[in-house]
């Protein structure tokens, strides 16, 4: 069923980089640039027209009313409310553990103090329309709150009926979101970046989305900060003959059901394992609830990579730099130190990537498209800045001032040197 790449006895495993997802091209960039320019120029008027064009919804007021948000609490099933509250507690606990301590150091009489401060306003984007993802509300808004952001706003595409699903609004309530706007796509990113009469401009925009959302975030970066360019879901599973083939297949299917553009990779050094997982995946796909989406993903991004041994399997995974990496093999813990590039690593048979999607506490907004080579999961630091504070008295200046003047003069910046010399010459 899945394409196979045999890398046994291949010296350069780096060729796997060529299997990364392709760029969306100039057509997406041009379309997004047009949307951003329109929203920047015409504000809420553009938002209403673009929402009608792309979502088929006549938008009267993009802001979701307080009454609608309150009603959504009781409209959300009690079991789901409890599950989301458990997820919230897990996410808050992990992200609170991430908060950095402010560094203080005195060297040669100069005191350097780092102040950690949050941005004033954060914008969270959550995909929607045909599906509802309350977990992503929690994953984006809660780290902002833990970081100390004063105002958190949320943009979600409206559903076919023009409304936002109650679980989304319930999640916004328990995450402490200030305002929810029923706007999606590139137009939502533009609105949060530049502001409209209704939607305030923010300082940082976070959250996943389709190609147009990712491209919009790329284009507004610099006007605002962004967390990264999260794309379609990815999973890579390293497995040996101890794996239950149905479990591995189920984990591949779980990420594949997000739809086209994603990647589902099995990495093995035993072809019998490859055969068994491949067959199990084919059987599970027959009855999958989102068969069309999963089939599209597996057809374009599903593959089995065959290597020589476990160490080479990790080499392959590092080259792929997947969003989710599962280690479903004997001695999985021994492989963790070898992993250099992955959004999140899940160790052992009882730790599927799905656990991280919802309740492990770690963030499920992760780097995709090989950006795990240089990027990390969404975290508290994405909503914070670090301000360096320097204190020095005359004794400190006497210890380090000459060195500073020497460097300034070597660079031809004589006014820099004079600023120091004046202080040294006068008491």
List the catalytic residues: 323-324
| Exposure string over 400-419, b if 16+ CB within 10 A, otherwise e | ebeeebeebeeeeeeeebee
CA dist 422 and 414 (Å) reads 12
Per the DSSP assignment, residues forming a β-bridge with 324 are: 235, 344
CA dist 303 and 16 (Å) reads 11
CA dist 360 and 358 (Å) reads 6
Half-sphere exposure of 12 (CA within 13 A, CB side): 4
* Phi, psi for residue 335 in degrees, rounded to 5: -85, -20
CA dist 404 and 420 (Å) reads 8
Per the DSSP assignment, residues forming a β-bridge with 325 are: 236, 345
Structure tokens at 364: 């499920």
Which bin fits 114, alpha (ψ -120 to 50), beta or left (φ > 0)? beta
């Amino acid at each position: 069923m899945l394409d196979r790449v045999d890398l046994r006895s291949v010296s350069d495993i780096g060729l796997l980089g060529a299997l990364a997802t392709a760029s969306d091209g100039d057509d997406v960039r041009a379309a997004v640039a047009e949307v951003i320019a329109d929203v920047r120029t015409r504000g809420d008027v553009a938002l209403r027209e673009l929402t009608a064009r792309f979502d088929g919804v006549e938008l009267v007021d993009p802001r979701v009313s307080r009454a609608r948000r309150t009603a959504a609490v009781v409209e959300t099933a009690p079991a789901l409310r409890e599950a989301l509250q458990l997820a919230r507690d897990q996410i808050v606990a992990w992200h609170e553990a991430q908060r950095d301590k402010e560094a203080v150091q005195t060297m040669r009489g100069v005191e350097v103090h780092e102040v950690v401060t949050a941005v004033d306003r954060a914008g969270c984007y959550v995909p929607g329309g045909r599906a509802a993802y309350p977990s992503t509300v929690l994953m984006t808004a809660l780290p902002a709150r833990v970081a100390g952001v004063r105002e958190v706003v949320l943009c979600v595409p409206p559903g076919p009926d023009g409304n936002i699903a109650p679980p989304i609004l319930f999640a916004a309530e328990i995450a402490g979101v200030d305002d929810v706007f029923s706007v999606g796509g590139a137009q939502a990113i533009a609105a949060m970046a530049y502001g409209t009469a209704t939607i305030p401009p923010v300082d940082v925009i976070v959250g996943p989305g389709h190609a147009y959302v990712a491209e919009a975030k790329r284009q507004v970066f610099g006007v605002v900060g962004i967390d990264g360019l999260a794309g379609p879901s990815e999973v890579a599973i390293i497995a040996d003959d101890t794996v239950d083939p149905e479990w591995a297949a189920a984990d591949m299917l779980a990420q594949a059901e997000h739809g086209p553009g994603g990647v589902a990779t099995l990495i093995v050094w035993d072809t019998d394992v490859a055969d068994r997982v491949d067959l199990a995946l084919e059987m599970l796909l027959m009855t999958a609830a989102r068969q069309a989406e999963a089939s599209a993903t597996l057809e374009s991004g599903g593959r089995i990579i065959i290597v020589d041994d476990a160490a080479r399997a990790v080499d392959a995974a590092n080259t792929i730099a997947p969003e989710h990496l599962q280690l479903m093999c004997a001695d999985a813990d021994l492989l963790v130190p070898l992993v250099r590039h992955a959004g999140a690593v899940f160790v052992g048979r009882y730790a599927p990537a799905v656990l991280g999607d919802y309740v492990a506490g770690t963030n499920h907004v992760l780097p995709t498209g090989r950006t795990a080579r240089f990027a990390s999961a969404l975290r508290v630091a994405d909503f914070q800045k670090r301000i360096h504070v320097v204190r020095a008295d005359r004794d400190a200046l006497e210890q380090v001032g000459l060195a500073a003047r020497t460097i300034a003069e070597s660079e031809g910046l004589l006014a820099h040197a004079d600023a120091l010399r004046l202080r040294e010459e006068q008491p």
